[in-house]
Amino acid sequence: MKRRLAILMAAVMGICTLGGCGRQEQSASGGVEHISLMIWAPSGDQSKDKGEWLQTCCNAFAEEHPEYDIEFVYGVADEATAADAVAQDAEASADVFMFANDNITTLTDAKAAAKFGGIYADEIIATNSEAVLDSVKVDGYIYGVPFTTNTWFMYYDKRVFSEEDVKNLDTMLEKGVVSFPFTNSWYLPAFYIGNGCTLFEDGTVEEAGVDFAGEKAEEVTDYLIDLLANPNFVVDADGSGIAGMRDGSINAMFSGSWEAGNLQEILGENMGVVSLPTYTLNGEEKQMMSYAGSKVIGVNSRSKHMVAAVQLAIYLGSAKAQSLRYELETVVPCNTELLADESIAADMLVKAQNDTFNNTSILQPTVGAMKNCWSPVELMGKGIRNKTVTHENSKEQTQAMNDAMNSDGL
């Protein structure tokens, strides 16, 4: 009895195995590979009232690639946090995901991002500017397909400021009220960098450290103390900037493309958008320089369907997909072909973001030591606001900020 049972089981197993083989052969002979791809994107890309950009593009991709029978699985992860989630557990993460380039070293350290090479790299190189490419490279390798630049610039009320006024912050302050996120360390370094302060030389040499010291930095600290004392200058914190724009008490503010829709609603045709102004330091005009980066479509290095995943990433970052995304969600494209398109280039938001990226920004360093650079600058901003940093102690305080940025302590 027992033996019979064993034979029966062996037979069943054998049939199952054969069946498995047969099915595989069938699918191979049909030329269609059944695959499942998981994609993580921000919820805005998938929401119905914003046109389901992601679903539209993925379906179009599936149509262009009849060799795959793709089942798409969508997850919600925005660019700011996706890299952390992927690095935490790459195996259980999406095949294709979107991340902000300042997290690129998180991914490369965890060996979670795939390198792009061959024809795919060529395509990325061909359709992006040098600066955008630099933002997705680590040690010369490309780790993703950039789809937009990520930086901040200036919004203003055209009734208050002329196009000439917005070239200089101090001229603006004579004519209207300007707010600036003074206590936010993504914004405040703009003044220091404008006066020759550097981070890791060109942003890539970790050993070089931060140079926010010496006379060039002290001058800026003194300038900032005076700037805060200006009655027409308002610190933008906890959303007070946009609230001020709404009630008319503030005429210009600094923010990124995510605020464009709200400001359009508030100012209507009076909305002006422009790259960063200069500021007058001891009689000399200095250009404010923001941090800039890019948002990138990355591929998981542990993806089971690497080729399809890379092709999908390339597709989602292509001119076609970027242009659709621009139409649906006003995500400013960075594809050079699209930027050459007059109708897109004429959009002042696109122009402002690109002018800022090209002319009035530095690439935000992606080296690991950058993590030490946020709190000291924030403390400096808060210190000036709370008047604990004054003209008397600005020298020591600036030095202290520089020391803290260069130290690895907590």
CB of 262 to another protein, least distance (A): 5
404, containing H or E segment: helix 394-406
Q: How far is the CB of 259 from another protein (least distance, A)?
A: 7
Nearer to another protein, 43 or 388 (CB): 43
- Candidate list 50, 65, 137, 158; residue touching another protein; CB under 8 A: 50
The least distance separating another protein from the CB of residue 46, rounded to whole angstroms, comes to 8
Q: Are 270 and 251 in contact (CB under 8 A)?
A: no
271-274, strands of its sheet edge to edge:
233-235, 178-180, 252-255, 153-157, 271-274
Nearer to another protein, 77 or 197 (CB): 77
- Specify burial of residue 10 (Cβ count, 10 A radius: 0-12, 13-18, 19+): exposed
- Of 24, 26, 27, 43, which one interacts with another protein (CB under 8 A)? 43
Is 259 one of the binding residues for another protein (CB under 8 A)? yes
- The CA distance from 253 to 230, in Å, is 15
Where in 64-93 is the site for another protein (CB under 8 A)? 75-78, 80, 82, 85, 88-89, 92-93
By C-beta, is 140 or 239 nearer to another protein?
239
When binding is defined by CB under 8 A, the residue of 21, 243, 307, 345 that contacts another protein is 243
Distance CA 54, CA 45 (A): 6
Q: Find the radius of gyration of the CA atoms of the chain.
A: 26
Contact residue for another protein among 55, 129, 240, 375 (CB under 8 A): 240
C-beta separation of 296 from 288 below 8 A: no
Q: How far is the CB of 189 from another protein (least distance, A)?
A: 18
Question: Quick check: 357 and 293 in contact, CB under 8 A?
Answer: no
Kindly state the number of chain residues that form the binding site for another protein, as judged by CB under 8 A.
31
Paired with 234 in beta bridges are 179
Q: Cα–Cα distance between 146 and 296 in angstroms, integer?
A: 4
Question: Which residue lies nearer to another protein by CB, 86 or 217?
Answer: 86
Give me the residues that bind another protein (CB under 8 A), please: 40, 42-44, 47-50, 75-78, 80, 82, 85, 88-89, 92-94, 238-240, 242-243, 246-247, 249, 258-259, 262
